[in-house]
Structure 1
Amino acid sequence: MNKKELARHVIYSCSTAFRLASTPELIPCSVSVCKLPFSFCSSLTCLTQRGRHYITGCAFAALRDLVWGRHGSPNHSNATSQTEATTTSKNDTTIKSNATSESAALPSAPVDHLDPDRGVAAEVIYESGHVDVNPDICREMGKNVRLLIAITSAPGHESARMAIRHTWGHYGQRRDVAVTFMLGSTANSSIDERIKQEQFVYGDIIRGKFIDTYDNLTLKTISMLEWVDNYCPKANFVLKTDDDMFINVSRLLAFIGRHNPQQRAIYGRLAKKWKPIRSKKSKYYISPRQYKPSLFPDFTTGPAYLLPARLAKELYTAALNHTYFKLEDVFVTGIVANSLKIKRIHATEFLNKRVPLTACSAQKGISIHMIKGPEQYDLWKKLLDGLTKCK
């Protein structure tokens, strides 16, 4: 790893702390940064005080100038240190995406806010691995699992997770179906404690090593792909969905029964010829440096899409080598899948939008979007009643 890569590592690992610190002389940071060879900045050192880790000496602006030039990224007032050339082994460290527990008191920061006009490979900001892994979610690497349902959920959405467990998530009791919730980390200690209690009771939560924010949704999906590759690669299919979705699991099982898990395809609601939004005022803004073409590849929309579990490894590995941005469905099922020549196939049963909450909607569709907790119970009841005859 050369001096520029090392400097970039420090900036991305400590980005939140750099912006919040009242002085650049003592920056809270993760222990991983303290393992770096700091010879690229002669005055940069790491120290530990009362169990917390800090970097000190080399000001943020000096690192910024090394990576992007004098005007490349957010400014910091004090820059004094000169950088020195050095090279080290590429395998010395893994680039981190967030400050870990050592700086957990800090609020999260969107990864691309460091410099929204410049692209960076996902591997620079993604930390591999998971917290408190429960191998029972997918036993024997998914050998007998026809369907793994991976539900992305925010840390504070406990009521949404409970509603799913009490309704369509109950299919997880079947031997051939596994249901899990994908979360990141949170700086809120009370929410974090409740998640630990929730995991103790239900054992169905998977936590990646990233701060759980909207701008990190792509990291969450990358984390899901890594987990599937590590713990459930022998499953037939994986449904990626969100915690505000109603899933007709019975209809989904019938759908996968008609499709071959050996096919290189992703199924869902297909979006064609969508254009990147270039307005910086939009929450969906994508800079030309993040993605230059005027059209995105066809992709399946994020609320719910289905893929063979065996593709998780390919998608995970390839995703790390692409320029990161926050639109996870475009990134994973569009750009990354397209680069791997994985087909994206439109399936009309994937509604992926808000529809009238009728018995027929619940019966005919696989996925309905924007469902609140109480509505999960209502739709579940309508689905189970089976009194309405739909054409």
Structure 2
Amino acid sequence: MRRGQQIWVVLGGIIVLSLFTSLTSRLTQQPGIWTSDRYLRPLDSNITTLTDGTFTFRLDRSAYDAAFPHLQRYTCREEIAPEGLCQGPAGAPLLLLAVKSHPASGGRRAALRRTWARPREMGGFRLRPVFLMATASDHRHARLVQLESDTFGDVLMWDFVESHHNLSLKERCFLQWLHRHCPQAAYVFKGDDDLFVNLKALTVYLSQTPNASCFIHGNIQNHSTVMRRGKYAVPQTLYSMGHYPNFASGGGFIMPGASVAALYAASLRLPVFPLDDVYLGFLTLAAGLPHQHDSRFRVWGIPEDKLQVYRGSLTVHGVSMERMEQVWQAL
């Protein structure tokens, strides 16, 4: 090749590389590249915005680092992790029943294991419970949890401390665990340990809902107003907007297994919000996942404590251990 031709080849390569770099730069900053119309868009190294078409939500990571540094910096470390919990015979799809619990709530867990939170097959699904916990300051509770784990093999515990705001760490770390250790789950139900779950109605709901694997299911809160006082208060310096994105109430909801990878990927990019159900709402928005609302997810209890109401519900929140067992036996 002549010298003049070599120069043109080199120049041509430089031009192509320059065009490719320019195009890549534009694509990574255009809305919609990561999650279609939900989109997470970086404004600078600390600020991320999300939009749902009605509101635009601005998340400043530096504010979260200042107000809740432990939520942002914690690396998920499991103290107790069941082996092979999601393994099982081929056939019926796995519905994982994940229950948020506190080490001190051994009585509640015992009541759930006697009722709806035990391994079985029902409604065409293979059901498997797992209790999600953080560490206890009381050594007696820690010993009890270890005994439960040895006996039932259904405890998943991380080494952060149980607290209200740390529930968001349970959300983040559970997504990581699901992504790494339970990819075979068809659906994941998640709720509190004072929740009654009508498993028959729940499995029928999943079987009969069109395209059920495309949605996050639950009692969906639409653009809830941000509280500035009380247990669920969020300071304006952390979150200046007046509304939250839509989210499934944390009392009880379902996410399809197919959504876990996108939710986990979002958790690696977004700051950890100090309210766990709102945090999942941000992850859901970033992942571009739609919601499916059903009022039978009774996250605030029921108007009348009658058997027919439980029969017609998917979940009922705030049920005592004694009533849990009465209703289960009656149904």
Bin the TM-score by the shorter chain. 0.7 to 0.9
Instruction: Establish whether residue 381 from structure 1 lines up as the match of residue 329 from structure 2.
Output: yes
Quote the sequence identity (%). Answer: 22
Contact 2:213 2:258 in 1 (8 A): no
In the alignment, the residues of structure 1 paired with residue 91 and residue 66 of structure 2 have an alpha-carbon distance, to the nearest angstrom, of 42
Q: Structure 1 135/117 Cα, relative in aligned 2: closer, same or farther at 3 Å?
A: closer
RMSD: 2.4
Aligned to 1:346: 293
For structure 1, the residue ranges without an aligned partner over 5 or more in a row are 1-114, 384-391
Once the two structures are superposed, residues 215-238 of structure 1 have per-residue CA deviations (whole angstroms, 9 ceiling, x without a partner) of 211111212212211221111100
Aligned to 2:223: 273
Q: Which amino acid aligns with 2:294?
A: A
For structure 2, the residue ranges without an aligned partner over 5 or more in a row are 1-62
In the alignment, the residues of structure 2 paired with residue 146 and residue 230 of structure 1 have an alpha-carbon distance, to the nearest angstrom, of 16
Displacement of 1:380 in angstroms is: 0.7
Of 175, 192, 197 in structure 2, the residue corresponding to residue 247 of structure 1 is 197
Displacement of 1:123 in angstroms is: 6.8
Aligned to 2:47: none
Q: Which amino acid aligns with 2:141?
A: I
Of 136, 153, 156 in structure 2, the residue corresponding to residue 206 of structure 1 is 156
**Segments of 4+ moved more than 6 angstroms:** none
Q: How does 1:92-107 map to 2 (within 5 A)?
A: none
Contact 2:80 2:158 in 1 (8 A): no
Q: How does 1:189-338 map to 2 (within 5 A)?
A: 189-259=139-209, 263-279=213-229, 282-332=230-280, 334-338=281-285
Contact 2:65 2:72 in 1 (8 A): no
Q: How many residues align?
A: 265
TM-score by structure 1 length?
0.63
Q: What SS does structure 2 have at the residue aligned with 1:139? A: coil
In the alignment, the residues of structure 2 paired with residue 140 and residue 377 of structure 1 have an alpha-carbon distance, to the nearest angstrom, of 28
TM-score by structure 2 length?
0.74
Once the two structures are superposed, residues 301-348 of structure 1 have per-residue CA deviations (whole angstroms, 9 ceiling, x without a partner) of 11000010121222123124323232111110x212112211112012
Contact 2:71 2:166 in 1 (8 A): no
Displacement of 1:296 in angstroms is: 0.5
Once the two structures are superposed, residues 231-275 of structure 1 have per-residue CA deviations (whole angstroms, 9 ceiling, x without a partner) of 211111000111000000111111111246774320100111211
Flag the structure with more relative contact order, 1 or 2, with Cα contacts below 8 A and sequence separation at least 6. Answer: 2
Q: How does 1:78-97 map to 2 (within 5 A)?
A: none
Q: Which amino acid aligns with 1:133?
A: A
Contact 2:221 2:248 in 1 (8 A): yes
Displacement of 1:376 in angstroms is: 0.8
Q: What SS does structure 2 have at the residue aligned with 1:138? A: coil
Q: Structure 1 337/119 Cα, relative in aligned 2: closer, same or farther at 3 Å?
A: farther
Aligned to 2:103: 155
In the alignment, the residues of structure 2 paired with residue 123 and residue 363 of structure 1 have an alpha-carbon distance, to the nearest angstrom, of 39
Q: What SS does structure 2 have at the residue aligned with 1:214? A: coil
Q: What SS does structure 2 have at the residue aligned with 1:176? A: strand
Q: Structure 1 312/116 Cα, relative in aligned 2: closer, same or farther at 3 Å?
A: closer
Q: What SS does structure 1 have at the residue aligned with 2:305? A: coil
Contact 1:122 1:319 in 2 (8 A): no
In the alignment, the residues of structure 2 paired with residue 317 and residue 152 of structure 1 have an alpha-carbon distance, to the nearest angstrom, of 22
Displacement of 1:371 in angstroms is: 0.9
Would you tell me which structure has more strand in proportion to its own residues?
2
Q: Which amino acid aligns with 2:289?
A: I
In the alignment, the residues of structure 1 paired with residue 90 and residue 198 of structure 2 have an alpha-carbon distance, to the nearest angstrom, of 21
Contact 2:71 2:169 in 1 (8 A): no
In the alignment, the residues of structure 2 paired with residue 263 and residue 200 of structure 1 have an alpha-carbon distance, to the nearest angstrom, of 33
Displacement of 1:287 in angstroms is: 2.1
